Chains A and B, each alone.
Chain A
Amino acid sequence: MSDLFDIVMLALLIATAVTVARARDLLAAVVIFSMYSLTMTLVWQHRGAPDVAMTEAAVGAGVTTVLFLITIARTTRREKP
């Protein structure tokens, strides 16, 4: 059970990371990155690190994402091919 959860989560992590890499729309990439962070949060929560999970949720998925969004607003949303 635990193994299954782990495998699914790890697969999801890699999938989101690859999606971040592939997304041409920077806004989408940032949003998917925040999903990646939240998935990571779940993994850590599961591994007995609630403190880290909370920090990652607040800082990694929260503050970092917002800072990225502001930057996109101030620069550009499209990654040139």
Chain B
Amino acid sequence: MQPFGLDLDYVAVVALFCVGLYMLVAKSNLLKKLLGLNVMETSVFAFIVTAGMVEGGDPPIMVAGTSAPYASPIPHAMVLTGIVVAVSVTAVALALIVQIHAHFGTIEIDELKELP
């Protein structure tokens, strides 16, 4: 599945990354920015998981019914950690957004910049 010598899975990941980045950069709404950040994060996780898969591989769980080749366990562990980190960052960001709204009454960056 490699048209034009490009790995379609990876390209999709980059596309998602860019959609997220665009949201983060271009959107004025802070929540939208944060959603964009989350999309970016997921895309990087997808990149890592994709890299860890193997043609016709089973999950790296050595119980009856599975057989080699197995997917590599390390990327999975990395992504697990990454997801938890991402939710932590999101939680802090949301708490800040709530504060900004309570103080300024808006979460649009265009309006926040106009405030004195």
Contacts and interface: CB of A to CB of B under 8 A. Distances in A.
Direct chain A–B contact by Cβ atoms under 8 Å: yes
Interface of A: 3, 6-7, 10, 13-14, 17-18, 20-21, 26, 29-30, 33, 36-37, 40, 43-44, 47-52, 55-56, 59-60, 63-64, 67-68, 70-72, 74-76, 79-80
Contacts of A29: 31-32, 35
Majority SS at the chain B contact face: helix
A52 B80 contact: yes
A44 B39 contact: no
Given A75-B101, A76-B101, A48 B58 contact: yes
Nearest to A30: B35
B94 A21 contact: no
Contact of A49 (B12, B76, B84, B102): B76
Interface of B: 1, 8-9, 12, 15-16, 19-20, 22-23, 27-29, 31-32, 34-36, 38-39, 42, 45-46, 49-50, 52-54, 57-61, 70-71, 75-76, 79-80, 83-84, 86-87, 90-91, 94, 97-98, 101-102, 106-108, 110-111
11 contacts: A6-B8, A10-B8, A21-B32, A29-B31, A43-B46, A47-B49, A55-B80, A63-B87, A64-B87, A67-B87, A79-B31
A6 B46 CA distance: 13
Contacts of A33: 35, 38-39
B59 A21 contact: no
Contacts of B23: 20-21
Contact of A72 (B31, B50, B80): B31
B21 to A, nearest CB: 11
A28 to B, nearest CB: 11
Given A21-B23, A80-B108, A40 B42 contact: yes
